[in-house]
Structure formats: structure tokens, C-alpha cells
Structure 1
Amino acid sequence: MHMNLFSEIRSLVVDALAAMEAAGELPSGLDTANVTVEPPRDALHGDMATNAAMVLAKPAGAKPRDIAETLARRLAEDPRIETAEVAGPGFINLRLAATVWQGIVSRIIGEGAAFGRSDMGAGQKVNVEYVSANPTGPLHVGHTRGAVFGDALASLLDYAGHDVTREYYINDGGAQVDVLARSVYLRYLEAHGKEVEFADGTYPGDYLIAVGEALKEKVGDAYLGQGEEVWLSDVRDFATAKMMELIREDLALLGVRMDVFFSEKSLYGTGRIEAALADLEAKGLIYEGVLEPPKGKTPEDWEPREQTLFKSTEHGDDVDRPVKKSDGAWTYFAPDIAYHYDKVTRGFDQLIDVFGADHGGYVKRMKAAVSALSGGRVPLDIKLTQLVKLFKNGEPFKMSKRAGTFITLRDVVDEVGADVTRFVMLTRKNDAPLDFDFDKVMEQSRENPVFYVQYAHARVASVLRKAAEAGIEPSDAALQGADLSGLTHEAELTLAKKLAEWPRLVEIAARTHEPHRIAFYLNELASDFHALWNRGNEETQLRFLQEGDAAATLAKIALPRATAVVISAGLGILGVTPAQEMR
């Protein structure tokens, strides 16, 4: 079982309650499911607080303070508990003994990279679908945020014990792929020395020049002077494949590797859309009907037509949704239903889709579809990522020429590197807008969380190097064997307490699907570490290297070493390489 100090102390509370039942101090058979042990709202009140007396007062028919006082007495008998004080209406604030925090430091060094890993996920199969940009060009800065968020979320769920599949949905079924083919055909004509004009609606970006040349190499002049009926379908496949190569390269720049690339086109003409809708029909959820006009003003061209509708209101949607138009063509929604039906039939226990903010109107209908297709068994969580605004020298950052109209992922990574790009993209919650200032994210200051966290890791590396130079071998085995009973200063214990929060924080972040919590935590941890470092400049007893005292030095170094273990694990989830030194 992986270690989580909060759940250990909760077990202590539950055991004490059982002892109270056995002693007749509480009625037997009380349900302790809602008893929690959490950090108190105010750190001055102690290390942990429990609501046990408040939750059990009513079912026990007793006053919360009476239960709390008896429970506090029992808890105080445990050697891990220094004080147990009843506060307010019946909360119990606990202070833990210094030996508990010293033990955490030693345990982190012993467990290494495994400290904080959780088996909470219990091997549940989770599919995380992210990026899924149209295969019509390189990834832009908006896709970058979705890519980083989705990838960090997948790593976080993996770290918390889930069996994760990372998936990319290739939107190669719609009209935009025909536009791509026509744009590539123009570049193909250019490669043959012809003058061309990019009409509205074609993609003018330079990135298609090479694709036009590659097409010329492949087919020579076979498509010159030919109509679309000859070349469109071939050029579409050729161009899509080339664009997916480009997108894979872009993802690789960020260190993103997908397990599955799923083609939308594979759903058409293969009976897969029909099969998904047949499943819904068998459940009585497909009917022919006429929808109300949209709310607000009725559009000029709106006419009530009979369409094939999905009864999505039975699964929490606001209105039923068309899956087939009156002319018999599928709506956009139909292949999406089929795609999620495929995910459900692949046996996933949980689905997560990461979309751009412009997909907000899509959330309820998609959740309704998955709920209907899985009979309510498989939850779908849709995470929307808000826009990113780029700045440089105080001005909005200008587009790259290569893409024509937008800033590419490559532009951003070329400017600041993959590690900084990834970390900064996770310094805000996914649904909050993000300002990405190229100057700020490269600054070496406390205001820059990337630098601040990396600097903490690099400082630890330098401490270990200096210890080795002083003839003290700071191996993990030596540090684990060190006597840590001297780590009692408040600045040292503050840092150890922050380290003890890591396993609990991982579980909360995984449960809420919020990887930005990891970045926030690392920033707080770095802050506590730098504070201890700075105090060592004034107070010699807090220095990590204690002149001429190898035993004391080993004990002092254990704390920074444990800090580096946790920073390294956290950065690993975010997909960022820990710095060994700062340049």
C-alpha cells in the first residue's frame, strides 16, 4: 500500500472511534464514511483537523463537543500525536510529533520515485483523447495548451494507478480535408511552374509548398489539367498523411506520444455509424421528429423539417439532437456518437475528452450520448481549455510567416524550449485564460514559477555535489541511515510537512482531473525550500553542510534530497525535465 500520512491518521481516528464504541462511549454500528482528516483551514491551528465528532453527533445522539473531548483524549495517547485540541463546535485539531515528519523524510528517500504513487485508480481503463486538431496544418498555440494539458492529465492518472490510453482523433472525414486537397493541388501546380491564385477558403500557408513538391515527385504530371474527379480523393489521402506526419513531429517536440490515432474517415461507409445508432434505437432513443426553432430569434432560413433525432434529453441534455438531416446526410454529431461508441465497446471504464473552449455547446450532447451508449456505466468528462495570449516585449506576439495566419507550436518551442512551454501551460487551471509572456517565462526570478521550481532542484544537486567534494558520500543509503532527530527547527519541519502533502495532493489532482494542482504544489514546495536555504545564510545551524561534522551534514542533506525526489516526480507528471544546474 502506498503511503499517505492523512489516510494513516484517518485510520487512527476510525480505530479510536471503534474503541469508543467497544467501551460503550458511543452507540455501536456508526457509519464513519464521512469522517475526514485534512489540513486545517489555518496552519496555525495545527497539522491536521478531523470532523469526526461533528459528523457522528446526530446519529450518536450526543453533543459534538462531548464526543470530541473523549476522542481527543484517546488520540493524544498515540505517540504520533503531540496534541489533540477540541476547537469551536467540535473540530479536533491535531499536531503531530517531530518524529513523524523526520520519518517522512527518511521514507521519501527510501521509496524514491515511488513516493506519492497511488493505487487509487485500481487499474481502471481510462481513455484520454486530446489535441485532435484538424489535419490541415501544423499545430498552433491553442492546440499546444490542449496537448500539454491532456498529456499531463494522462501522466497524472497513470501515476495514480489508472491504465491510461492516450488517443488522437483525426478529423479527416469533413469538408476541411477537401479544402486541404485543393490547396495542395494548387501547390502541386506551382511545383510545375504554373501561376496560381489562392482563393478564399484555401490554405495559403507555406507549409504546403513541400507537400505540393512531394506530390509532383510521386505522380509527375498525371494530374495536370485534370478535373477534381480524377485527383481529389488521392490528393486528400496523400495530403492528410503528410499533415499527420507534420503533427506527429510537432507533438514529438513537446514530448507527446500518442498510443492510438483514430481516423474519423474509418467511420464512414463501414457501417460503424449505423451500428452505433442501431444501439441507441434498440434503447428507444431514436425517433423521427421536428425540433423547435432555436431560442431567441428564428433564423430567416429556418423551416420545421422532419429529421432523425436522438432523445438526448433523456440523458441530461437541454434539447434532442439531430443525427440525420432531412436529406438523409449524417449530421456532425453522428460520427462523434459512433466514435464514442467505439471507445465504449473497447472496454474503457472512463472517458476524458480535452476540447478547445469553442466546444462548450458540445458538452451536454456528448455526455448524453456516452451515458446512453454505455447504459450509464462509463462516465465522460469533457475538459475545455481556454485561449492562450502570447506576448513579447510587452506587445502581442506576431504570427509566423510559415503558417500564414497563426502562431505555431514550433514557434513557441523554438522561442523558449519544451520544458518551459509545458510548465507555463499548466500554471493556470485549464478553463482559465492564459497569458504567455516570452520575456517573463525566461526571467530568472521568483515571479517565474518555472525558474523557481527548477532552481530548487538545481540547488539540491549542487548541495549534493559539494558534500561529495567535502568527502561526505551523500548516497541515498547513507542518507536513509542518518539520524534525523536533529531536524526540529520550524523551517525544516515546514518543508517536511509540505513534502508529506504530496501523496494526498496527487490523489486530489487525479480525482478532479486537474494537473495544474501539481504545478501549484511544486511552486509552494520550492518556496518552502528556498526559505530554508535563505535562513541558512543567517543561522549556521540550518546550513545543509555542517563544517567538520559528517553526521550532522548527512541529516541536514536528507531534507533537500527528499525535496528533489518529490520535485522530480512532480515535474515528471508535467513532462518537464528537472534541472541539474542553472545556466
Structure 2
Amino acid sequence: MNIFAAFEERIGEALATLTRAGHLPAGLDLGRVVVEPPRDPSHGDLATNAALVLAKEARTNPKALAELLAAELRRDPRVTEASVAGPGFLNLRLDPEVYAAVIRAALGQGAAFGRGAAKPGLVNVEYVSANPTGPMHVGHGRGAVFGDALASLLAAAGRAVVREYYINDAGAQVDVLARSAFLRYREALGEPVGEIPEGLYPGDYLRPVGQGLAAAHGRSLLDRPEAEWLPVVRAFAIAAMMDLIRDDLAALGIRHDVFFSERTLQGQGGQGGGREGGAVAALIESLRARDLVYVGRLPPPKGQLPEDWEDREQTLFRSTAFGDDIDRPLLKSDGSYTYFASDIAYHADKLARGATELIDVLGADHGGYVKRMQAAVRAVSEGRASLDVKLCQLVRLLRGGEPVKMSKRAGEFVTLREVIDEVGRDPVRFMMLYRKNDATLDFDLAKVVEQSKDNPVFYVQYAHARASSVFRQAREAFPDEDFSGAALAHADLSLLSDPGEVEIMRLVAQYPRVVESAASAHEPHRLAFYLHDLASALHSFWNKGKDLPQLRFVNQTDRKSTLSRLALVAALRGVIASGLGILGVTAPDEMR
């Protein structure tokens, strides 16, 4: 039950009535009309911008239009007050029965409350896609959690979702991986290797890979030229690294439906989907047939020229025709494909597999990627699909406010697995989402395990545990009572009149809107913020009951008010569990 969606529909009906009465022209665009909670709760329960966004098109004064709309909405029995504020905002105050109906719906629908109806189309969410050259670091973890939570959020809002990982297994970095692993292979066979040469990966994580190669091949690779052992070692090392990455992801509760190999795009075989036989070449030819590929020269970059700048004829994609700043090269000077060419073919493959909306979750250093890939998706889909690129900013890892030193195992960074093992999955996931993805995140290993109100993940989980403890108290006080959601839905909710109780009801009513709006905006942090607000409302009312016994959730001398409050607590507990579930965080019944 989404009261905000219901009143958007009701406002549409009211505007239609005003149109039939000749107060408004026909055909107004209602796409920008929203119904939301007012910034100041004292102004009412709902606020709408309808008059403000429609006045210009309707050629009328926004305040006058708001007054007409208010008069029409006052006819609705659910509305107790409709008032115009400022230049034309319309605030609505609702009958308490509206919120009682929401609580009954939350109790009746259980886990389905707040979930959206099925919607058409398929969303492909690509996230993590870390190079298979070593264990994941904390920055990868942020993108992993963000992408996974976003996929769950979209599914909760009614979207069909595919979760995808792109394996970068065709670039120079996997050859470096192979040479690094071969060094560890020699080491495993007892050969002295000395210092790891510059340019190779120094981490201890490659020692097991070397030992695995030694067990599988003995000394047979030692006397073979690099051209022969490189593909063998590369395939072995990539498989080992992907096993390591999958294990790290599983520790964080991250899952993917598809692991897509870049090598398949170039007809080289590999893991995952893809069309064999040179999908990149086929894609370039299809674009060429549409006159979207040409041979030309690019203007020099602004400012100081890079050392590798070449003024030469190149095979270029007309990305400026689709909103990019410059046309983009598809071939390098040695005739091999650019990363951009492979990326176009990869996104075309996603579309060929049925995706109608694409989301890429990338690190902040990929900002230059956004316009060119959005242009490419517009081109290959002929405008039928969209791409949203979500950039996740850096994570600063701290302990008690001090930067954490690098990991000996990884060689260059602290691994994600080390962080999970130290603080647990829940703090990592929640805190990665308790800040907008495009803002730098300070992750303090000491703070995220504190049991205090200053620790957001503890604060929200504690609210669920507190709500569960209320029911344990209630069963002791009233052992003969049925506390199921179906039974509590019949409680007298008109007794919930204290401002703290009303605040909880209002927040519970916002849950379906939060799920829908956060999914639509691709911003899971909105859900994390909302859960913190809901937890705060419960903790505040709990503390109020310490001073005012008549407001306690369980009152042995007043069964009727106890059942009313338990209905409220059950609805709140269900929403917290649902919201935490979307974020991939557990909802404990007790906190130890």
C-alpha cells in the first residue's frame, strides 16, 4: 500500500475534474508531479508540487491553481485539511485511519509490503568486474556492495534483473599475471627467484598459484619458451584468481548470475557468455555499415600533449553524433582493438541477451568512460536502451582515525577479505551504503563495531532486536495471546495517538515510496538513511516510555493498548527486516 502513489493518482483525477470544468487546458504533462512527505512534518502528511510545475503550461498563477486543487481534494474523505503554502505548494493532512490502514496492510502483506508490482523490461547491472590479477581490495568492495544492493533494490521495486561480472581476461594485465605466477611456479620448484622484478605482481597470494602449477605440470614448463607456457599459465592463473574473487564475494554475500569473459568477444574462448568468432570485429562492421565508423584524425588534446600522442589517421567511431565530446578510436596503432571497441561489443551483447536498461558500477577513476559508453549504447540500440554509469568514490580505511597500513599478503593494499574477517559482513555492507556512492567514504574499523548510537549499523540492527524483545516481554505478560500479524491487524489502532506513535506510522507508510524512489534514482543509500530514521523513531519512543509508563509497549494492566502498540512494533520490525534484507544485512533478534 503506497499512499504516495495513491494520492498521485488522486491528484491526477482532481486535475482531470478541473479540466472538464474548464479551469485547465487538456493534455497537461503530469510527469513532473510528485507527492512526497513535507520537509517540515508540522505542515501535514503529504505535499505536492502539482500547481508549481503545471501553472506555466496551464497559463495560470500557481497559487490560484493550488487553491483550485485544494478545494477539489477537500472532497476526499481521507483528507482532513488541504492548505496552500509559499508560491503554490499544496500540503495535505490525512485522516488517522489512512495510517491505520497502512499498518494493517504491512501486517497482512508481511515480507511483500513495500515491494513493487512486476514491471516490463530487463535491467542488466554490471558490478565489481575487478581485473582477475589478485584479491579484491576495499574499493572493489564498495562497488560490489553498491551493485548488489542496487540489483536487490530494483528487484524489490518489481524489475527483472541480471547481475553480471565482466572478466577482463584479454588485456596486457593478464600476461603480467601469468609472468608473475610463472615466477612463483619456479619458486615452488625450488629455484631461487630473488626480488620480484618491477612490473610484476609481488603479493604472496600468488604463491599457492605457483604451487598449483607445480603440482599440475611438474617441471615440464621450465624448458618451454614463453610463447608456449604463457597461455597455459595465464589460463591457470586467471581461473585461480577468479576462484579467489568468487570466494571473497561470497564472504560479503555478493552473487552474480553471469560471469562474462572479455576473451569470448574476440573469439578466443573463455568463461561466461559472448558470441564466438570475433564479436568486436562484427560489431565494428555493423557500425561501419551504418556510416558510424570512419577513418580520420583526432584534434590534439587540450593543454600539454601526452608523450604517447600520435597525430595519425585512425579508425574512429562517430560518438559525437550521440552526445560525446569527441569521436573515439576503435583500433590502436598496432592494429589491435581499443578497450572502447571491446566495451561497445560487450554492451551490444548485453542488449542482444534481452536487456532494455544497462547499469555499470565503476570506480571513480572511470569518469571519462561515461559519455563515450552512453553514446555507444545509444548508437548500438538505436535509442531503444539506456546506460547509467554509477561511479563509486574511494574508501579511506582507518583504525581509530589513523590510516591502515598496506597488507603483506596483497603487497600493495589491504584486501577486502581482511576487512570482512575483522569486522564482519554486516558492518561492511551497511557502512558502504550509508554514504552516497559518489562521495569519498571513511571506513573506520574501530568505529563500525562499536555498540553505540553513533554506529549506524548497530543503531538500525538494535532497533530490530529491541522490537523483537518487545514480543518476548509480551509473551511473558500475556501467554494466552495471539501475536501473529493476522491477529494484530484487528487491534484498535485508533489508540495510537501519541506524536511518537504517529511518527512511526508515518515512517512505515513511507517505505513503499522509499523503495520505489531509491530504485528509480539508482541510489540505495536512500534506503539506508530511511532505516536509520525509522530506528531513531523507535528508540525515541522507547526512551519516552521509560519516563511515562503509560507509553510503554507492554502494559500488563492494559491489554488493548498493548495490542495496538504491538501491531505498530510488528509493522516496524517487518519493514526494518525487509529493508536490511534488500541491503544484504541481517536483522538480528538479539544483540550480543
TM-score using structure 1 length: 0.96
**Is the 1:30–1:59 Cα contact (8 Å) retained in structure 2?**
no
Structure 1 residues 325 and 55: CA distance shift in structure 2, 3 A: closer
Within the alignment, does 1:169 sit opposite 2:166 as a pair?
yes
CA distance, structure 1, for counterparts of residue 184 and residue 207 of structure 2: 6
Counterpart residue number, 2:534 = 525
Counterpart residue number, 2:270 = none
Superposed displacement of residue 98, structure 1: 1.4
1:333 maps to amino acid: F
Q: Map 1:418-567; keep pairs closer than 5 Å.
A: 418-470=425-477, 471=479, 472-567=481-576
**Is the 2:62–2:87 Cα contact (8 Å) retained in structure 1?**
yes
> Which of residues 65, 81, 86 is equivalent to 1:83?
81
> Which of residues 361, 364, 370 is equivalent to 2:368?
361
CA offset digits 1:20-78 (Å, max 9, x no partner): 445x3625635261443222232221111233444554555554444443432332232
Superposed displacement of residue 370, structure 1: 1.1
1:514 maps to amino acid: E
CA distance, structure 1, for counterparts of residue 401 and residue 428 of structure 2: 18
Counterpart residue number, 1:231 = 229
**Is the 2:400–2:447 Cα contact (8 Å) retained in structure 1?**
no
Structure 1 residues 257 and 56: CA distance shift in structure 2, 3 A: closer
2:554 maps to amino acid: L
Question: Any stretches of 5+ residues in structure 1 without a counterpart?
Answer: none
Superposed displacement of residue 534, structure 1: 0.9
Counterpart residue number, 2:321 = 314
Within the alignment, does 1:128 sit opposite 2:125 as a pair?
yes
> Which of residues 564, 582, 590 is equivalent to 1:573?
582
Counterpart residue number, 2:218 = 220
**Is the 1:398–1:407 Cα contact (8 Å) retained in structure 2?**
yes
Within the alignment, does 1:286 sit opposite 2:284 as a pair?
no
CA offset digits 1:369-405 (Å, max 9, x no partner): 1111111111011111111011113321122221111
> Which of residues 14, 17, 22 is equivalent to 2:15?
17
CA distance, structure 2, for counterparts of residue 459 and residue 255 of structure 1: 25
Structure 1 residues 61 and 131: CA distance shift in structure 2, 3 A: closer
**Is the 1:535–1:542 Cα contact (8 Å) retained in structure 2?**
yes
1:540 maps to amino acid: P
Q: Map 1:255-404; keep pairs closer than 5 Å.
A: 255-269=253-267, 270-300=277-307, 302-404=309-411
1:360 maps to amino acid: G
Superposed displacement of residue 578, structure 1: 0.6
CA distance, structure 1, for counterparts of residue 537 and residue 182 of structure 2: 59
Superposed displacement of residue 291, structure 1: 1.4
Superposed displacement of residue 8, structure 1: 1.3
2:150 maps to amino acid: L
Superposed displacement of residue 514, structure 1: 0.5
CA distance, structure 1, for counterparts of residue 316 and residue 197 of structure 2: 37
Counterpart residue number, 2:271 = none
CA distance, structure 2, for counterparts of residue 20 and residue 300 of structure 1: 66
RMSD: 1.7
CA offset digits 1:398-443 (Å, max 9, x no partner): 2222111111111110111011100010011111000000111111
**Is the 1:30–1:56 Cα contact (8 Å) retained in structure 2?**
no
CA distance, structure 2, for counterparts of residue 381 and residue 61 of structure 1: 35
Structure 1 residues 15 and 445: CA distance shift in structure 2, 3 A: same
CA distance, structure 1, for counterparts of residue 212 and residue 206 of structure 2: 10
**Is the 1:478–1:554 Cα contact (8 Å) retained in structure 2?**
no
1:266 maps to amino acid: T
Question: Any stretches of 5+ residues in structure 2 without a counterpart?
Answer: 268-276
> Which of residues 38, 41, 64 is equivalent to 1:40?
38
**Is the 2:127–2:360 Cα contact (8 Å) retained in structure 1?**
yes
Superposed displacement of residue 101, structure 1: 1.4
Q: Map 1:172-211; keep pairs closer than 5 Å.
A: 172-197=169-194, 198-211=196-209
CA offset digits 1:500-528 (Å, max 9, x no partner): 11111111111110011110111111111
1:179 maps to amino acid: V
> Which of residues 139, 143, 155 is equivalent to 2:140?
143
2:217 maps to amino acid: V
Bigger mean CA deviation after superposition, 49-58 or 265-274:
49-58
Structure 1 residues 554 and 440: CA distance shift in structure 2, 3 A: same
CA distance, structure 2, for counterparts of residue 478 and residue 548 of structure 1: 20
**Is the 1:355–1:385 Cα contact (8 Å) retained in structure 2?**
yes
Q: Secondary structure at the match of 2:280?
A: helix
CA distance, structure 2, for counterparts of residue 179 and residue 68 of structure 1: 66
Q: Secondary structure at the match of 1:501?
A: helix
Bigger mean CA deviation after superposition, 11-20 or 147-156:
11-20
CA distance, structure 1, for counterparts of residue 397 and residue 10 of structure 2: 50
1:150 maps to amino acid: G
CA distance, structure 1, for counterparts of residue 574 and residue 36 of structure 2: 24
CA distance, structure 2, for counterparts of residue 473 and residue 202 of structure 1: 66
